């Protein structure tokens, strides 16, 4: 059965502002964060030549998820102000010719590991959004390459990466799981669930210190958010009790309450703003996954609400490009989330 993406809680005014930011970002070529390991002089070309679909928004993965944001908003708010300009921009960028260039890169040795797992995950989520929405654009040539690369990698990976930044495997695997569920790709869904259990099924007594200064994801809560996809409600409740024992205790207040952001104009400061948003959707998902009446449900909903309020204050805060090129996606994912 095809999985249906959820409706939005965003009002038209917020959707308009997010769409304007996303479309501006995906067309903005500079500044650009160049992260390639170059395999030849032929790669020493402008980002827009090497990646004609996703050259904007500071870096490749941010451009992908800002494109997802634009597509998601056009799906849910097709008549919102700015929609026609957004469609024009996507018509120019997301073309068969441009996608073929991107796909060729990822099929080459230079693209074998680049942007794995974070960028790959957002690309596969974008592909699922397009395939299930009826919108006219397609990134299928890129997605087909990355889908097979993902399956090869996730099926063999013996260990997770538990960082609070782009390399985090739990968050990326959650996105890919949901994308695969949306398009009926049971092979990928199964591989993601098996990886979750292989990586985290026996973990107990989480001992990490959070947050780090650069975190935009919570390693603990992102892991829990992945595991609720692999377990039923009763199993998940038992796993959570072992993983974060006595969740209501003072020990875990650092996860339950938003962490202050000293300077959201700083690249890592903006990460901490995003952390509030990602924790909000983690806590909400945990509450939804627990059995009805479980003692942690009110705690999780309270924590989600506190983080949501804290995180959204930064989305339109005018904190500069280091925040603006990506933070809107996290705010929107919380309220138009694809799970």
CA atoms within 13 A on the CB side of 194: 13
Spatial separation of the C-alpha atoms in residues 339 and 333, rounded to whole Å: 10
**Burial of 80: CB neighbours in 10 Å, binned 0-12, 13-18, 19+:** buried
Crossing angle of helices 233-243/267-289, nearest 10°? 130
Report pLDDT for 8: 56
Spatial separation of the C-alpha atoms in residues 179 and 339, rounded to whole Å: 9
Q: How confident is the model at residue 38 (pLDDT cuts 50, 70, 90)?
A: confident
Q: How confident is the model at residue 2 (pLDDT cuts 50, 70, 90)?
A: very low
CB 121 within 8 A of CB 171: yes
CB 97 within 8 A of CB 35: no
Tell me which residue has tokens 């928004």.
57
Residue 6 pLDDT greater than 80, yes or no: no
- Report helix, strand and coil shares of the chain as percent, to nearest 5: 65, 0, 35
Residue 5 pLDDT greater than 50, yes or no: no
Q: How confident is the model at residue 329 (pLDDT cuts 50, 70, 90)?
A: very high
Model-level pTM greater than 0.85?
yes
Residue 211 pLDDT greater than 60, yes or no: yes
């Amino acid at each position: 059965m095809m999985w249906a993406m959820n409706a939005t809680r965003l009002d038209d005014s917020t959707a308009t502002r997010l769409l304007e930011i996303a479309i501006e970002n995906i067309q903005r070529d500079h500044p650009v964060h160049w992260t390639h390991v170059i395999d030849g002089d032929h790669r020493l070309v402008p980002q827009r030549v090497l990646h004609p679909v996703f050259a904007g928004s500071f870096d490749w993965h941010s451009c992908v998820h800002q494109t997802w944001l634009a597509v998601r908003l056009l799906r849910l708010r097709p008549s919102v102000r700015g929609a026609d300009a957004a469609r024009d921009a996507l018509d120019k960028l997301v073309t068969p010719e441009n996608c073929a260039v991107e796909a060729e890169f990822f099929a080459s040795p230079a693209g074998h590991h680049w942007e794995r797992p974070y960028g790959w995950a957002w690309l596969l989520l974008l592909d699922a959004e397009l395939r299930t929405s009826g919108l006219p654009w397609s990134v299928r040539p890129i997605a087909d390459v990355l889908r097979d690369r993902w399956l090869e990698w996730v099926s063999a990976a013996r260990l997770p990466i538990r960082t609070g930044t782009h390399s985090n495997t739990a968050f990326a695997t959650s996105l890919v799981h949901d994308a695969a569920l949306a398009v009926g790709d049971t092979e990928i869904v199964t591989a993601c669930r098996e990886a979750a259990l292989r990586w985290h099924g026996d973990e107990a007594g989480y001992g990490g210190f959070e947050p780090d200064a650069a975190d935009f994801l919570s390693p603990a809560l992102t892991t829990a958010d992945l595991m609720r996809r692999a377990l039923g409600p009763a199993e998940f409740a038992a796993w959570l009790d072992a993983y974060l024992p006595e969740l209501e205790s003072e020990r875990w207040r650092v996860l339950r309450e938003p962490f202050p952001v000293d300077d959201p104009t700083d690249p890592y400061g903006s990460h901490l703003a995003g952390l509030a948003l990602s924790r909000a959707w983690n806590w909400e998902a945990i509450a939804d996954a627990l059995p009805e009446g479980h003692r942690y449900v009110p705690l999780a909903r309270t924590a989600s609400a506190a983080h949501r309020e804290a995180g959204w204050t930064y989305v339109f805060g005018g904190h500069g490009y280091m925040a603006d090129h990506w933070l809107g996606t996290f705010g929107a994912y919380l309220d138009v989330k694809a799970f």
